[in-house]
Amino acid sequence: GIQVEQSPPDLILQEGANSTLRCNFSDSVNNLQWFHQNPWGQLINLFYIPSGTKQNGRLSATTVATERYSLLYISSSQTTDSGVYFCAVSNTGANSKLTFGKGITLSVRP
């Protein structure tokens, strides 16, 4: 099956700094999503981005499908951005299962 690798595994930032989180995948995809998992475990949707670029406030994402990677940018980080960020992809037909990476743990210090 498809493999998903996220890097770096851990990231520590000072409040106000910018960061880039990377997701590499091993095959073509028809769905790619970025999630933020809050301390209570819920996965919060950040972006649905199988290709192209999107922005939502301080967050933006780019997926280069032909080169099999996606980037999540966080600008002017805040302590509330802390948590685990997951990239998840699917590639086996419409509405098929999501395969998740191992996640990136972000800690933003005041």
Partner 1 sequence: DAGVTQSPTHLIKTRGQQVTLRCSPKSGHDTVSWYQQALGQGPQFIFQYYEEEERQRGNFPDRFSGHQFPNYSSELNVNALLLGDSALYLCASSLTLLMNTEAFFGQGTRLTVV
Site for partner 1 contains 100 (CB under 8 A): yes
Q: How many CA atoms lie within 13 A of 66 on its CB side?
A: 1
* Closest approach of partner 1 to the CB of residue 38, in Å: 9
25 binds partner 1 (CB under 8 A): no
- Give how many residues touch partner 1 by CB under 8 A: 22
Closest CB to partner 1 among 83 and 101?
101
Closer to partner 1 by Cβ: residue 13 or 23: 23
Cα–Cα dist 29/19, whole Å: 25
> What single-letter amino acid sits at 42?
Q
Distance CA(17)–CA(13), nearest Å, equals 6
